[in-house]
Amino acid sequence: MNILVLLGSPRSQGNSATIAAHLAEAATALGAQVRTVELNGLSYRGCQACYACKGKAERCVLQDDLTPVLAAVESADALVLATPVYFGDVTAQLKGFLDRSYGFLAPGYLAGGQKGRLSRKKLVFIQTQGNPDQAFFKEIFPRVNHFLEWMGFADGQIIRACGLGPNRGEAIPESVLAEAEQTAQRLVEGWGLRPSFR
């Protein structure tokens, strides 16, 4: 299995990156091929609304550092998106990627046709935040997942860690790291919904 991890934080050793690395290590140990990309190190533009992806090109035609990343999403079995909360949302780095993923919506979707170009890929969303109250920012994942489901991602799963400030990856609860390991196992050994979601 081929897993692509996209890090949305500018902090390479930060909280979301640490949780993602834990998942990646566990998945690698189980035989998965994992590639991790730090979006912050790339140079790319947001969607330019050229609509070429809704015409013959069928994919994003912009050429920059995100071009190979979008291609890697297409060939991955699973996508892991990791982001801290910035002002109540994903980071700008991840939002830029999400806007460019417009090319994963099929050309016919605007006319009410088939929505997604991708087929049943797995999705994991890792979200960290300073606010310790889980009720805050719980709407981010459902909102992002709504659009990713259109593209063809199925059974999206979220891993959250709240109350994590500027300390780099050192205060992440064991329960969250264990969740990352369990998620890696579910990714590699067959996707299953958590009992509470059935």
Applying CB under 6 A, the residues found at the interface with ligand FMN are 9, 11, 14-17, 84-88, 128-131, 164-166
Helix 92-100 with 66-75: angle, nearest 10 deg: 70
Least distance to ligand FMN, CB of residue 12, Å: 9
Q: Which is nearer to ligand FMN, 7 or 62 (CB)?
A: 7
Q: Which residue minimizes CB distance to ligand FMN? A: 14
Least distance to ligand FMN, CB of residue 187, Å: 21
Contact predicate 128/134, CB 8 Å: no
Q: Which is nearer to ligand FMN, 114 or 167 (CB)?
A: 167
Cα dihedral value 60, 63, 64, 65, nearest 10 = 60
C-alpha 81/C-alpha 160 separation (Å) is 12
C-alpha 198/C-alpha 182 separation (Å) is 17
For residue 186, what is the enclosing H or E element? helix 174-189
Least distance to ligand FMN, CB of residue 177, Å: 14
Least distance to ligand FMN, CB of residue 56, Å: 39
Q: Which is nearer to ligand FMN, 86 or 150 (CB)?
A: 86
Q: Which is nearer to ligand FMN, 102 or 125 (CB)?
A: 125
Q: Which is nearer to ligand FMN, 152 or 169 (CB)?
A: 169
Contact predicate 130/164, CB 8 Å: yes
Least distance to ligand FMN, CB of residue 35, Å: 19
C-alpha 181/C-alpha 153 separation (Å) is 21
Q: How many contiguous H segments (helices) and E segments (strands) does the chain have?
A: 5, 5
Least distance to ligand FMN, CB of residue 7, Å: 8
Q: Which is nearer to ligand FMN, 12 or 182 (CB)?
A: 12
